[in-house]
Amino acid sequence: MTAHTTELAAILKTAIEVEENGYKTFKRFADATQDESGKKMFQRLAKDEVEHRQILEKQLKQISEGGSWQSIHIPPSSVEKLIPALRDKAKRTKGESGVAELDALNTALDLERKAAQFFRDKADEVTNPEAKALFHRLAEWEDAHYELIQAELDNIKNTGLWFGIPEFRMDGTF
């Protein structure tokens, strides 16, 4: 393996650990969450983390066996497809959640923010254009997770915001 390939392999191994940690965290939160909507959200996020890990493992296997980095098209995830549709809705259902669920959501929010930044940093570090594109795409995926979690937090806290859009106007009109 060349020094460049060794460096990419090390980055991929770290990225795989990041995704595995995300999966375990979201799985634990899904198991502990009583609210059905929250449970399903955490299950979806855990599933996405598995998909991310599989993509990274495929790249690692490819370069470890002497192959070159593969350009992989990652289509929009179901979360990414969901966010624009949700933004278009005028109303949403309010639910109740306990403090533990708020803590889980805040932890998940931090995890997604850090994961997105990790992938952006790695995209800046690598010179291989396919690697750079993959890391940018994974950061976008993590950003979509972040938005979904933030929307759930805003909903639970009744902030009057949903996906960053005010649900009401200060003049009292809707």
CA-to-CA distance for 27 and 31, rounded, in angstroms? 6
Cβ-based neighbour number of residue 38 at 10 Å:
22
Q: Which stretches in the chain have pLDDT values below 70? A: 1, 77-100, 158-174
65-97 residue pLDDT tens: 988 887 777 777 666 665 554 444 433 333 344
Question: Rounded to the nearest 10 degrees, what angle do helices 99-125 and 36-64 cross at?
Answer: 20
> What is the CATH number assigned to the segment(s) 3-166?
1.20.1260.10
CA-to-CA distance for 37 and 114, rounded, in angstroms? 24
pTM > 0.75: yes or no: no
